[in-house]
Amino acid sequence: MLGAKSVIREMFMYGKERAAQIGYENVFDYSLGNPSVPCPPQFTQAMVDLLQNSEPVALHGYCPSQGDPTFRSAVAQSISHRFGLPYEQKHIFPTTGAAGAIAHAIRAVTTPGDEVITFAPFFPEYIHYVNKTGADLKVVPPDTEDFQINFDALETFLNPSVKAVLINTPNNPTGAVYTARTLERLAGLLTQKSREYGHTIFLVSDEPYREIVFAGAEHPYPAAFYPNTLTCYSFSKSLSLPGERLGYVAVHPQCEEGDILVDVMAQISRGIGHNCPPSIIQLACARCLEVTSDLSVYETNMNLLYNKLTELGFAVKKPGGTFYIFPKALEEDSIAFCERAKQFDLLLVPADSFGCPGYFRMAYCIDTDKVRRSLPALEALAASYR
Amino acid sequence: MLGAKSVIREMFMYGKERAAQIGYENVFDYSLGNPSVPCPPQFTQAMVDLLQNSEPVALHGYCPSQGDPTFRSAVAQSISHRFGLPYEQKHIFPTTGAAGAIAHAIRAVTTPGDEVITFAPFFPEYIHYVNKTGADLKVVPPDTEDFQINFDALETFLNPSVKAVLINTPNNPTGAVYTARTLERLAGLLTQKSREYGHTIFLVSDEPYREIVFAGAEHPYPAAFYPNTLTCYSFSKSLSLPGERLGYVAVHPQCEEGDILVDVMAQISRGIGHNCPPSIIQLACARCLEVTSDLSVYETNMNLLYNKLTELGFAVKKPGGTFYIFPKALEEDSIAFCERAKQFDLLLVPADSFGCPGYFRMAYCIDTDKVRRSLPALEALAASYR
């Protein structure tokens, strides 16, 4: 019953051990996507205010199964305003982070044996979120040119068993942001195939990095292109609250069966013992929908790394967002490459488990000072290949 | 995909509607098990202190998949001391309330197709927690004499497909507390049958009402009687935090496979998108393990109701704990009885869905003043049957 351990967590645990030996400041740990900036002060203030000025029985009482109405309507209002779609409270289902959102969305729109398509490179936990529902995750090979969608490959994967397509933009691990052209083409294809197969193919759009987009990058809202979209969000990155486990599924107002999908997800929750994220976190985040942590450090770090990697001759696309960069390794075997990097105390994650061998991921959600100090290590690593 | 709605929640929603018509204070709502007393001030202080004096990145960061080490070791120490069993950090798995605890425990010790036994009357959500894992919940008929275990009936249910037995003590809905004699006999039977079948039958013990026990009631700790016990706990009732969704599974230190069961549950979590309860709630509760809300109101309410019900001729066992009482209805059809009670603005839950037709549940986690004011309504209801 014990599945394969996450390669990311393994690297992270190695980093902790190594830090105990040579000091935390000397380990250039690019393994884990854990935000490095504090939550905005508004979140702390909202929490303290709720604790000090609310009646505790009401504050900490049971939520309805569909989630806290205050949070749900605040989210609906915020994203309606921002994306121009008429979301209402009934379309919002609070979840334990994006993980819970994806697991619920997939369960809501598939039955065991259905196929779900995603695109390499992809966040490897998707295998668990999808396959544990009884559906079957199929991975379309990457578009290594731009890390958009390899449409030729996608067409060969579509068949009547496909009930959902799972995308992630801005993307972990590539940092790519899907363009309007990509989303239009995807929407067109899904509309056509839904008609052909006589059933809806749902789009499950995983967007925890929505707020981390860099200067000049276009970042369209996927649901605006395709009504049968379930948008999965998390406050882990935007408010730097990964441990507090709050996210949501937003069901597009014109989605097929859109009026009952939240009730379906609430029913699913009963069976997995999840029963709503914590009340106080929902109430505090409801007051922080228009703020984020100071996310500018990620762009600073990205530029430092992108420039150095390019200078050193790495093949690498400039990320449009997230806190990841995804260069090609300097040898074919990226696992061997990342093993060698350890000699320079650089902790990099080989992309084999992301479905894209030959590449590696750097999570640059660390201090800018440490990024700067890591550049000589990157130089030395590159030099070792000459 | 939309299953039957909970009869409890339906009655609760009716109560909200009725309160809008005649005023909240005039609806005697005994439907929902939502604690009526505030959390202890220590919890609020711990939360505020964490928010004001911790570094936010660490405070709100990702937990390890197995849960926060501070919380896990504090729980292990607290229950080791209290129950005399050598629990260690590795035996404690934090969950989203008892619901998450039961769902994870059942998934960890069964595979689809296995049978899980519980005892009527039982909390109807068990059907969802168990059957959604792929296992099959079998319900042993009640011991209506004492609401302990009907062992004659249990023996006929045991067979080689049974992998777990799920108990709940102090019990929802009866308020009964399993005696040492009951637990000894159960342990003996499970030990004998485990040997006979050549595999362990695990005991999953659901104990959210552990701290709500009344004067004179014996309340032994089930795991002390049987090593293959997974104890499921929640802070919802003891600290009045049902909305904050924190509980745990404690794996008995001598449990079969006890050293890996927490890792198994952490793996299961990955697949359902649960991934740990919120960090700050774990950290705050770790500081509140030796305190509870002021739970004395429940015993006051119980005595008022028990005395009145007895006086009115109801057949009713005196509860040993919880905030429930479980009388026999005044007609055979307890659904009709509870419908009639609505005429007196008494909201009672018929026990048909608890597997015990002919009885009803009253959740007396409400103001004592309201309990007192409801007594004439109970008198009028009883009088209507004369």
Asked whether the predicted pLDDT for residue B223 surpasses 70, the reply is: yes
Q: Which of A206, A217, A211, A140 has the alpha carbon at shortest distance from A180?
A: A217
Q: Return the pLDDT at B3.
A: 44
pLDDT in tens, B277-324: 999 999 999 999 999 999 999 999 999 999 999 999 999 999 999 999
Shortest CA distance from B67: residue in chain A: A243
Report the C-alpha gap between A117 and A140 in whole angstroms.
Answer: 7
Q: A53 touching B, CB under 8 A?
A: no
Asked whether the predicted pLDDT for residue A246 surpasses 80, the reply is: yes
Best probe of the A interface among B45, B245, B323, by most A CBs < 10 A, is B245
What is the CA angle B274-B276-B278, rounded to 5?
110
Selecting from A38, A99, A244 the residue whose C-beta is nearest the C-beta of B279 gives A244
pLDDT band, very low/low/confident/very high, at A218 (cuts 50, 70, 90): confident
Amino acid identity at B295:
L
Selecting from B38, B272, B281 the residue whose C-beta is nearest the C-beta of A132 gives B272
End-to-end CA distance of chain A: give it in Å, rounded.
44
Q: Return the pLDDT at B270.
A: 81
Inter-chain CB proximity B276 and A55 less than 8 Å: no
Enumerate long-range contacts of A120-123, CB under 8 Å, 24 or more apart: A120/A354, A120/A355, A120/A356, A121/A147, A121/A171, A121/A173, A121/A174, A121/A326, A121/A351, A121/A354, A121/A355, A121/A356, A121/A359, A122/A168, A122/A354, A122/A355, A123/A168, A123/A172, A123/A173, A123/A206, A123/A354
Best probe of the A interface among B8, B29, B60, by most A CBs < 10 A, is B60
Q: B103 touching A, CB under 8 A?
A: yes
Residues in A closer than 8 angstroms to B96, CB to CB, are 96, 273-275
Selecting from B56, B132, B277 the residue whose C-beta is nearest the C-beta of A271 gives B132
235-254 in B: which are within 8 Å (CB) of A?
A: 240-246
Q: Which CATH number fits domain A43-286: 3.30.70.100, 3.40.50.2300, 3.40.640.10, 3.40.80.10?
A: 3.40.640.10
Report yes or no: B324 and B174 within 8 Å, Cβ to Cβ.
yes
Report yes or no: A211 and B27 within 8 Å, Cβ to Cβ.
no
Q: A32 touching B, CB under 8 A?
A: yes
Report the C-alpha gap between B376 and B101 in whole angstroms.
Answer: 40
Residues pairing with B162 in the sheet: B115
Report the C-alpha gap between B358 and B333 in whole angstroms.
Answer: 6
| Parallel, antiparallel or unpaired: strands B324-325 and B360-363 | antiparallel
User: How many Å lie between the alpha carbon of A96 and the closest alpha carbon of chain B?
Assistant: 6
Q: B1 touching A, CB under 8 A?
A: yes
Q: Return the pLDDT at A2.
A: 41
Report the C-alpha gap between B377 and B26 in whole angstroms.
Answer: 11
- Give the H/E segment covering residue A242: none
Q: Return the pLDDT at A5.
A: 61
- B22: how many CB neighbours lie within 10 A of its CB? 10
Q: Does this complex have an ipTM over 0.90?
A: yes
Report the C-alpha gap between A88 and A67 in whole angstroms.
Answer: 14
Q: Report the pLDDT averaged over residues B246-270.
A: 94
pLDDT band, very low/low/confident/very high, at B2 (cuts 50, 70, 90): very low
Shortest CA distance from B62: residue in chain A: A243
Report yes or no: A98 and B274 within 8 Å, Cβ to Cβ.
no
pLDDT in tens, A189-202: 999 999 999 999 99
Q: B59 touching A, CB under 8 A?
A: yes
What is each CA distance from A226 to A169, A207, A229, A242, B354, in whole angstroms?
15, 15, 6, 29, 44
Report yes or no: A350 and A327 within 8 Å, Cβ to Cβ.
no
Shortest CA distance from B101: residue in chain A: A273
User: How many Å lie between the alpha carbon of A312 and the closest alpha carbon of chain B?
Assistant: 33
Asked whether the predicted pLDDT for residue A156 surpasses 60, the reply is: yes
Please, where are the H alpha helices in B30-86? 41-53, 56-59, 69-83
Shortest CA distance from A52: residue in chain B: B44
Residues pairing with B136 in the sheet: B115
Selecting from A47, A263, A272 the residue whose C-beta is nearest the C-beta of B51 gives A47
A177: left (phi over 0), alpha (psi -120 to 50) or beta: beta
Report the C-alpha gap between A45 and A52 in whole angstroms.
Answer: 10
What is the pLDDT of chain B when averaged over all its residues? Answer: 94
Share of chain B above pLDDT 70, in %: 98
Tokens for A144? 């290594």
How many CB pairs lie under 8 A apart between chains A and B?
Answer: 187
pLDDT in tens, B49-92: 999 999 999 999 888 889 999 999 999 999 999 999 999 999 99
What is the pLDDT of chain A when averaged over all its residues? Answer: 94
Q: B293 touching A, CB under 8 A?
A: no
Asked whether the predicted pLDDT for residue B272 surpasses 90, the reply is: no
Best probe of the B interface among A5, A10, A60, by most B CBs < 10 A, is A60
Q: Report the pLDDT averaged over residues B241-266.
A: 95
Tokens for B47? 């939360």
Selecting from B96, B104, B129 the residue whose C-beta is nearest the C-beta of A271 gives B129
Q: Return the pLDDT at B1.
A: 37
Report the C-alpha gap between A228 and B143 in whole angstroms.
Answer: 51
Report yes or no: B237 and B106 within 8 Å, Cβ to Cβ.
no
Report yes or no: B141 and B121 within 8 Å, Cβ to Cβ.
no
Query: Could you tell me where in chain A the CATH 3.40.640.10 domains are found?
Result: 43-286
User: How many Å lie between the alpha carbon of A139 and the closest alpha carbon of chain B?
Assistant: 18
Q: Return the pLDDT at B280.
A: 97
pLDDT band, very low/low/confident/very high, at A275 (cuts 50, 70, 90): low
Instruction: Specify the range with the lowest mean pLDDT, choosing from A207-211, B31-35, B207-211.
Output: B31-35
Report yes or no: B239 and B294 within 8 Å, Cβ to Cβ.
no
Q: B69 touching A, CB under 8 A?
A: no
Residues in A closer than 8 angstroms to B52, CB to CB, are 44, 48
Q: A275 touching B, CB under 8 A?
A: yes
Q: B16 touching A, CB under 8 A?
A: no
Query: Could you tell me where in chain A the CATH 3.90.1150.10 domains are found?
Result: 7-32+294-383
Residues in A closer than 8 angstroms to B279, CB to CB, are 243-244
Report the C-alpha gap between A168 and A122 in whole angstroms.
Answer: 8
Asked whether the predicted pLDDT for residue A281 surpasses 80, the reply is: yes
Asked whether the predicted pLDDT for residue B354 surpasses 80, the reply is: yes
Q: A112 touching B, CB under 8 A?
A: no
What is the CA angle A90-A96-A98, rounded to 5?
85
Q: Return the pLDDT at A4.
A: 52
Tokens for A164? 């959902």
pLDDT in tens, A91-126: 999 999 999 999 999 999 999 999 999 999 999 999
pLDDT band, very low/low/confident/very high, at B200 (cuts 50, 70, 90): very high
Report the C-alpha gap between B386 and B382 in whole angstroms.
Answer: 7
More confident of the two residues B157 and A217: B157
Report yes or no: A356 and A301 within 8 Å, Cβ to Cβ.
no
One DSSP character per residue, B272-338 reads HT---S-HHHHHHHHT-TT-----HHHHHHHHHHHHHHHHTT---PPPSBSSEE-PBPSSS-HHHHH
Q: Which of A253, A208, A265, A213 has the alpha carbon at shortest distance from A233?
A: A208
Shortest CA distance from A37: residue in chain B: B57
Please, where are the H alpha helices in chain B? 7-22, 41-53, 56-59, 69-83, 97-109, 125-131, 151-157, 180-197, 235-238, 261-272, 279-286, 296-311, 334-342, 368-383
CATH code for the domain defined by B7-32+294-383: 3.90.1150.10
Tokens for B137? 């919940």
pLDDT in tens, B91-116: 999 999 999 999 999 999 999 999 99
Shortest CA distance from B4: residue in chain A: A267
Q: A86 touching B, CB under 8 A?
A: no
Selecting from B36, B48, B275 the residue whose C-beta is nearest the C-beta of A51 gives B48
Burial A39-74 (b: 16+ CB within 10 A, else e): bbeebbebbeebbeeeebbebbbbbebbbbeebbbb
Q: B38 touching A, CB under 8 A?
A: yes
Inter-chain CB proximity A51 and B47 less than 8 Å: yes
Selecting from B260, B272, B278 the residue whose C-beta is nearest the C-beta of A244 gives B278
One DSSP character per residue, A247-267 reads EEEEE-TTSTTTTTHHHHHHH
Best probe of the A interface among B10, B16, B44, B96, by most A CBs < 10 A, is B96
Selecting from A104, A240, A270 the residue whose C-beta is nearest the C-beta of B125 gives A270
Report the C-alpha gap between B248 and B101 in whole angstroms.
Answer: 6
The SS3 call for residue B33 is coil
